[in-house]
Structure 1
Amino acid sequence: MELKNKRVLVVGLGKSGIAAALFLRQQGARVTVSDARSATALAGEIPALLEAGIMVESGGHGLLTFRRQDLIVISPGVPLDTPEVKQVIGFGVPVIGELELASRFLKGRILAITGSNGKTTTTTLVGKILDESGVPSLVGGNIGTPVINLIPESTDQTVNVLEVSSFQLETIQQFRPWIAVVLNITPDHLDRHGSFETYAAMKARITENQQTGDFLVLNAEDKPTQMVAAKTKAQIFWFSPRRPIKQGTFVYGDAIVFVPREGAKAEPIMPVAEIPLKGAHNVENVLAAICAARLAGAPAEKIRSAVANFKAVEHRLEFVHTVEGVDYFNDSKATNVDAAMKAVAAFPGGIHLILGGKDKDSDYTTLSPLLRERVKAVYTIGSAAEKIERQLQGVVKMVGAGTIDVAVHEAAKAALPGDVVLLAPACSSFDQFENYEHRGRTFRRIVQELDQ
């Protein structure tokens, strides 16, 4: 991709947008950035951009700004149906995302992981396994480090382990992973994608450009994920915690095994009991990580030690503290209903559950069976509280807390020794917090203050 003297517009100044703008400028492009937020809100970002010779448009998007470009790079948080974006697509201006842009310059091979839930845990674990196995690797993407920031460190030998979201996959063109992983596909981001079918189709795009020499790792127990198999040219490997499979990873008795090809002898990897993470869903994440890492060249003994020493990723069923015999867990990354269900299912009972935030057009009634079985009370917070209370009325005791501070204190008063207070909101955080990390850190601080 030749960028020198090309007019390029970057839309959206999140982490990846800023990284893309600076990279484009370094490549000699004439760069403009556009963000709907005000100059005051962007005060921390604007000086560095101006200093790099990048023009800044804030407080809204101007159609003329969009039309005077050779290329538009759109941030994941900006919908493709934004009026200005929609118009320029109609005019034939190329529109790509930071993931696509970065992949044109990234050296080495790509190991990409997507799914509705478990992406960050699996991506982090694959990175750890490869690192401990001596496989040159870098980790980035939706996990926090923009892919474009990996370019300077990447070499021809690098395996670039990338967490990729449906928003990022929406704008790919040539993005081609050597190894692609789809963990699961459950309803999420319906407020953005409009339907579950569209959302599932975005996830399936991870394999769109794969060829016969590539690998696709799929969940054998998740029907929407199974359907991705019909859309690929890659070699398919499966993972299952329930049954033997012909090619991939599965649980056999009390152990995890890997079958490198159909008809081959199963290789023992490790006992299931050595997985240090809570929840059946994390067994699936580990199976996927093992399969991907094994395909990338990690030996079985290194995989076992890396998994056994792996700690829960921050904000993902993260143990925070025990106060007066009550355990507090932070699963702020449970930003959809399926993730919240998996978090609740990780505990046998006695749960005081904090639910709520910004609704994503979700159906909370699917939580009902688990709530009846394991949850003592639900504490609702944020703008989705009224909808959650309405949909779960009569299922479990409901406490309208409003804020996370009130929720933690009300739960602390009601909980008995041996109980669990669990933040698994089933919603995004953007009504009351900057992001899910901010929400999780706030929960952690409040819990730690209980003991002072």
Structure 2
Amino acid sequence: MNDWQDVSNVVVVGLGITGLSVVKYLGRYHPNLSVRVIDTRDNPPGLSELPAGVECHQGGWRSEWLAAADLVVINPGIALSTPEIQQVIKTGTPVVGDIELFAWHINKPVIAITGSNGKSTVTDLTGKMAAAAGLQVAVGGNIGIPALDLIDESIDLYVLELSSFQLETTSHLKLKAAAFLNLSEDHMDRYQDLEGYRQAKLRIFAHAEAAIVNRDDPCTFPDTFSGAVATFSISQVANFSLQYIDECEYLVANGRPVIGCDHLKLVGRHNLANVLTVLALLQHAGISYEKGLDVLKSYTGLTHRCQVVEDNRGIQWVNDSKATNVASTLAALSGLTLKGTLYLLVGGVGKGADFSPLAPALDSLNVRLCCFGRDGQQFMPLHPAAKQYETMADVIADIAPQLLQGDIVMLSPACASFDQFKNFMARGDAFVDLAHQYA
């Protein structure tokens, strides 16, 4: 717990949604502090919403502000390796993120989820099932609402999605249960290697009472941990796993059947792993998942995540714009039931990733690979039926007249979106508009 008596000057580095939430939190709970903002962008988002009296330096750094700060709060989009931040760290001034401020403030139970893929679905479903058990639940963090904006005395439980970037600057977050879902190559433009990325995510277990880890992915296991450990798996024996009973597949918790898989509306095998994780998190947080089974049965997932947005003339249009890395796209492909041709839209900003692991999965499918965006060319060698386009709209205009009953048009790009779109949500919305237009 931080001693705020030692702090009088705070510099918030990076505005946007998270930075603005930090500024508002400080104004609400620590109104006597001097708070200033630095953002290297000329016109950062959130600038017009800054409270009166909060000074903002734009378009570069302000070294004298950093030198005078007692505490620096950085946006997760800013790497700790940034020279200006490294200089602050060398002087001994604390550099933290918004989740660390949240950790200092909160005295209510918290569940948190990290991983390369699936964490948004797990976070959202955990929150919904906990609410069905009768709790006042706040869900956010890296998904939806910033953690500091969730703070409310009426809340019984916080459920947070946490990225590796957020965990880098978090040291004191106490958790009833924490899950590390999986690890795959991502953000290699930020980390020196995959192990550096893994170590950032493992920080989620630093002060957790229970660790939920993936039996199918040993990288998710903490190197050292003194609390309870529960495993989940869709292919091996685990605490939370799948089992056939009377020729029907069930989700099983510690050997006890919970629900038949055919009762779920979620699409894809990867989502079975997500549900098993939710069951484990709730159980280890002391929350009855049985009370949330009706919610689980009706849950269809999140927007932009393997979401069927059109099903017309026997042709499905699937929006998986959240698939910003190879592992996400592989997960989407593994969950498909394909009767016709798969038109798979890939491309965008590759973030230095290796796309070759997609090739074996594509070989087993009747697929037309539609490559677009800045790094679309990098997908061309992966399959003989690959074609290059400039934009997603160009793809749809070309393939729409060829579509037949049983075909699937899936946007699962394995790339970030910011070459042609503001974010993955905008990319997904554009795909949905095209689906409505051509379906």
TM-score, normalized by the shorter chain, greater than 0.5: yes
For residue 24 of structure 1, what is the aligned residue in structure 2?
A: 26
Q: Is the 8 A contact 1:379 1:411 kept in 2?
A: no
Q: Is the 8 A contact 2:133 2:289 kept in 1?
A: no
For residue 235 of structure 1, what is the aligned residue in structure 2?
A: 228
For residue 359 of structure 1, what is the aligned residue in structure 2?
A: 350
For residue 34 of structure 1, what is the aligned residue in structure 2?
A: 38
* One-letter code aligned to 2:48: P
Taking the aligned partners of 2:356 and 2:179, their CA distance within structure 1 comes to 29
For residue 438 of structure 1, what is the aligned residue in structure 2?
A: 426
Q: Aligned to 2:398, which of 360, 385, 410?
A: 410
* One-letter code aligned to 2:20: I
Q: Is the 8 A contact 1:9 1:73 kept in 2?
A: yes
Is 1:150 aligned to 2:171, yes or no? Answer: no
Is 1:104 aligned to 2:100, yes or no? Answer: no
For residue 449 of structure 1, what is the aligned residue in structure 2?
A: 437
- Change in Cα spacing, 1:119 to 1:321, as seen in structure 2 (3 Å) is same
Q: Is the 8 A contact 1:142 1:162 kept in 2?
A: yes
Shift of 1:65: 2.3
Classify the secondary structure of the residue corresponding to 2:12.
strand
Q: Is the 8 A contact 1:207 1:231 kept in 2?
A: no
Classify the secondary structure of the residue corresponding to 1:31.
strand
Judge which range, 306-315 or 405-414, deviates more.
Answer: 405-414
* One-letter code aligned to 1:358: V
Q: Aligned to 2:187, which of 173, 181, 189?
A: 189
Taking the aligned partners of 1:161 and 1:48, their CA distance within structure 2 comes to 27
* One-letter code aligned to 2:278: A
For residue 173 of structure 2, what is the aligned residue in structure 1?
A: 175
TM-score (norm 2): 0.94
Q: Is the 8 A contact 1:139 1:160 kept in 2?
A: yes
Classify the secondary structure of the residue corresponding to 1:449.
helix
Taking the aligned partners of 1:65 and 1:415, their CA distance within structure 2 comes to 59
Q: Is the 8 A contact 1:354 1:380 kept in 2?
A: yes
Taking the aligned partners of 2:326 and 2:112, their CA distance within structure 1 comes to 24
Shift of 1:50: 4.4
Classify the secondary structure of the residue corresponding to 1:10.
strand
For residue 262 of structure 1, what is the aligned residue in structure 2?
A: none
Taking the aligned partners of 2:152 and 2:292, their CA distance within structure 1 comes to 28
For residue 6 of structure 1, what is the aligned residue in structure 2?
A: 8
Query: 4+ residue stretches of structure 1 with deviation over 3 A?
Result: 1-5
Shift of 1:323: 4.1
Taking the aligned partners of 1:80 and 1:200, their CA distance within structure 2 comes to 16
* One-letter code aligned to 2:189: D
Is 1:339 aligned to 2:350, yes or no? Answer: no
For residue 47 of structure 1, what is the aligned residue in structure 2?
A: 48
Taking the aligned partners of 1:164 and 1:301, their CA distance within structure 2 comes to 26
Shift of 1:313: 0.6
- Change in Cα spacing, 1:375 to 1:105, as seen in structure 2 (3 Å) is farther
Shift of 1:402: 1.6
CA offsets 1:43-85 (integer angstroms, 9 cap, x no match): xx2233142x211111122222221211000111111122211
* One-letter code aligned to 1:447: A
Judge which range, 200-209 or 328-337, deviates more.
Answer: 200-209
Pairing 1:373-412 to 2, within 5 Å after superposition: 373-389=364-380, 391-392=381-382, 395-412=383-400
Percent of residue pairs identical: 33
Q: Aligned to 2:302, which of 298, 313, 318?
A: 313
Shift of 1:224: 1.1
Q: Is the 8 A contact 1:12 1:34 kept in 2?
A: yes
For residue 128 of structure 1, what is the aligned residue in structure 2?
A: 128
The CA RMSD measured in Å over matched residues stands at: 1.7
Shift of 1:174: 1.1
CA offsets 1:360-381 (integer angstroms, 9 cap, x no match): 1111110001111114211112
For residue 218 of structure 1, what is the aligned residue in structure 2?
A: 213
Shift of 1:173: 1.6
Classify the secondary structure of the residue corresponding to 1:347.
coil
Q: Is the 8 A contact 1:8 1:69 kept in 2?
A: yes
Q: Is the 8 A contact 2:346 2:369 kept in 1?
A: yes
In the alignment of these two chains, the number of paired residues is 429
Q: Aligned to 2:361, which of 365, 370, 392?
A: 370
CA offsets 1:214-249 (integer angstroms, 9 cap, x no match): 1111111112113x2x3212210111222333xx31
Pairing 1:205-284 to 2, within 5 Å after superposition: 205-210=203-208, 214-226=209-221, 228=222, 230-245=223-238, 248-253=239-244, 254-259=249-254, 266-284=255-273
- Change in Cα spacing, 1:341 to 1:85, as seen in structure 2 (3 Å) is same
Shift of 1:2: 4.5
Taking the aligned partners of 1:235 and 1:35, their CA distance within structure 2 comes to 42
Shift of 1:154: 5.0
Classify the secondary structure of the residue corresponding to 2:151.
helix
Pairing 1:27-106 to 2, within 5 Å after superposition: 27-28=30-31, 29-39=33-43, 41-42=44-45, 45-51=46-52, 53-106=53-106
Judge which range, 433-442 or 290-299, deviates more.
Answer: 290-299
CA offsets 1:341-394 (integer angstroms, 9 cap, x no match): 1112222342101101111111111000111111421111211112222x42xx
- Change in Cα spacing, 1:173 to 1:154, as seen in structure 2 (3 Å) is farther
Classify the secondary structure of the residue corresponding to 2:200.
helix
Classify the secondary structure of the residue corresponding to 1:402.
coil
Taking the aligned partners of 1:322 and 1:56, their CA distance within structure 2 comes to 49
